[in-house]
A and B are shown apart, each in its own frame.
Chain A
């Protein structure tokens, strides 16, 4: 049974069975590739004739621009610097993202759901991945388009002209980041983090035990059983890490909390 579900040989695929609609690569696939290349070349040419690649003044160590922004694909990490120290935002989280991505195929438990955009049997996986992508896109959006001098929020139109590229308006001073931030006491912080991860780890099991067996709870129960403890631990650690990242952002924005834990060596 297990063997049947696992398409370890591509021979399991419908596509390789006799009678499945297949066409010769020449000309169908080759034609498509040719058109794609033509299309991309034309678009790239058109863009390159119309829009100039940016070139600012010559690099100068003594003249730090404010703000100094990372390229857009890394700006999500820079945006996280508002909420975390660099060792988390710039080192731990990107590594966690890469490891998490690599692990996806190995914690998957619906091997047969492939080859189509049909998500009814993998709702959780799709929801979690989509949330991650949306989170990443939001951070890029905020960092790239809303952050101005001193990494403060500057709203287009309200704070500056979109047509110009400057945040300074006559008579309007630049925003200052003078927010008073507090840190939690070490005890509270430790309790909060340990509590969050412990409860987070056992919560799904508690839900299946304590709540009435509605359809959602039944589905959760089935999912947990199929996943097994090891995969569950791997998946849930990543879910909780992402959850913790979001929680810290909420604590910082909503309650002006700078650090949850402060030790002489590191701060979280």
Chain B
């Protein structure tokens, strides 16, 4: 910046400048970060465009959108919690096997045997609740600021799907500890599916399609007539592979659309 040249520098500042020059003014650093330290407006623009991660964001943003009282940062918080959940989730997968007789004991091991296992599991659990809460709050802020209006209508639709998949992610994870809490919560939840009209064995008009307890939609979801080992494996695969994959694709699309439609602001 300009004042660097006008002000007289103390020895400490000179040393700092020298060290940072050593660090940034060399071919290796420049091969990784294409621009030097972004100290001028030009370099600040360049750093946003030339870095893979930074180019998610625009080079300049409107001041109103930066205010916390506008966006609550809630979409960002939702996404960051998703990243933390992926990280802690992968670590949990090292210690957890979705098998009827083993799953619960793996939870106990995490609590009592694995170093920091209890913090790992707690972080995953609380972040999951946090993400559900954050995505609801994010939807509310988008509604109350009218940010779903043209040209962002379709991104709102993508958002509603993301809301659904966030809930499903959390719900499939609920069964995995294989304790009474999750087991019965998921039993209650999946029982609702058996009431689907036509497709559920307790739903209206199910006779028309010859639907029974062992061929209805609930059977297809949980792989049995009640929650058992098949349901556990299904919950695990949906939770760790299927839904995160779909949710990630939707998020990539969501972010791309924010860039293309422009972040909301007064007209």
Interface of B is mostly: helix
Contacting A68 at CB < 8 Å: which of B60, B65, B188? B188
Task: Knowing A36-B77, A59-B183, say if A10 contacts B151 (CB, 8 Å).
Answer: yes
Considering only residues 6-61 of chain B, those with a C-beta below 8 Å from chain A are 38, 41, 44-45, 47-48, 54, 57-61
| B2 contacts A by Cβ under 8 Å | no
Q: Are B77 and A115 in contact (CB under 8 A)?
A: no
Considering only residues 120-142 of chain B, those with a C-beta below 8 Å from chain A are 121-127, 129-130, 132, 139-140
| A170 contacts B by Cβ under 8 Å | no
A32: B residues at CB distance < 8 A: 66, 68, 73
| B119 contacts A by Cβ under 8 Å | yes
| A23 contacts B by Cβ under 8 Å | yes
Kindly supply a per-residue 1/0 record for chain A positions 64-91, scoring 1 wherever the CB is within 8 Å of any chain B CB and 0 otherwise.
Answer: 1100111111100110000001110111
CB distance from B138 to the nearest CB of A (A): 13
B95: A residues at CB distance < 8 A: none
> What CA separation (Å) do A52 and B123 show in the bound complex?
9
B262: A residues at CB distance < 8 A: 10, 13, 15-16
Q: Are B126 and A47 in contact (CB under 8 A)?
A: yes
The listed residue with most A CB atoms (<10 A of its CB), out of B140, B146, B195, is B146
Q: Are B47 and A26 in contact (CB under 8 A)?
A: yes
Task: Knowing A14-B266, A36-B77, A44-B123, say if A29 contacts B187 (CB, 8 Å).
Answer: no
Q: Are A104 and B143 in contact (CB under 8 A)?
A: yes
A164: B residues at CB distance < 8 A: none
B145: A residues at CB distance < 8 A: 114-117
CB distance from B125 to the nearest CB of A (A): 4
Q: Are B126 and A87 in contact (CB under 8 A)?
A: no
Considering only residues 45-74 of chain A, those with a C-beta below 8 Å from chain B are 45, 47-49, 51-61, 63-65, 68-74
Task: Knowing A25-B60, A56-B180, A56-B181, say if A48 contacts B167 (CB, 8 Å).
Answer: no
Contacting A71 at CB < 8 Å: which of B68, B80, B140, B171? B171
Query: Considering only CB atoms, which chain A residue lies closest to B42 in the complex?
Result: A24
CB distance from B145 to the nearest CB of A (A): 6
| B170 contacts A by Cβ under 8 Å | yes
| A22 contacts B by Cβ under 8 Å | yes
B170: A residues at CB distance < 8 A: 71, 73
A191: B residues at CB distance < 8 A: none
Q: Are B183 and A36 in contact (CB under 8 A)?
A: no
Q: Are B151 and A36 in contact (CB under 8 A)?
A: no
A78: B residues at CB distance < 8 A: 188
A6: B residues at CB distance < 8 A: 150
Q: Are B203 and A91 in contact (CB under 8 A)?
A: yes
Contacting B151 at CB < 8 Å: which of A8, A40, A101, A126? A8
Q: Are A57 and B261 in contact (CB under 8 A)?
A: no
The bracket for how many chain A residues form the interface is 35 or more
| A111 contacts B by Cβ under 8 Å | yes
> What CA separation (Å) do A51 and B98 show in the bound complex?
25
A8: B residues at CB distance < 8 A: 150-151
CB distance from B166 to the nearest CB of A (A): 9
| A122 contacts B by Cβ under 8 Å | yes
Contacting A87 at CB < 8 Å: which of B171, B203, B267? B203
Contacting A12 at CB < 8 Å: which of B122, B195, B204, B267? B267
| B104 contacts A by Cβ under 8 Å | yes
**What are some 28 contacts across the A-B interface (CB < 8 A)?**
A7-B267, A13-B264, A14-B267, A15-B64, A15-B263, A16-B262, A24-B44, A24-B45, A25-B61, A26-B47, A40-B81, A49-B122, A53-B126, A54-B125, A54-B181, A58-B180, A59-B227, A63-B180, A68-B185, A69-B188, A87-B203, A98-B164, A101-B160, A102-B157, A105-B156, A114-B266, A114-B267, A116-B145
The 5 closest A-B pairs by CB, nearest first: A90-B192, A10-B262, A86-B195, A105-B153, A53-B125
Chain A interface residues (CB < 8 Å from chain B): 6-10, 12-16, 20-30, 32-33, 36-37, 40-41, 44-45, 47-49, 51-61, 63-65, 68-74, 77-78, 85-87, 89-92, 98, 101-102, 104-106, 108, 110-117, 119, 122, 126, 129, 133, 265-266
14 further contact pairs, Cβ within 8 A, besides A13-B262, A15-B64, A22-B62: A16-B262, A26-B44, A40-B80, A44-B126, A56-B179, A64-B184, A87-B196, A91-B193, A102-B156, A108-B148, A110-B149, A114-B149, A119-B144, A133-B140
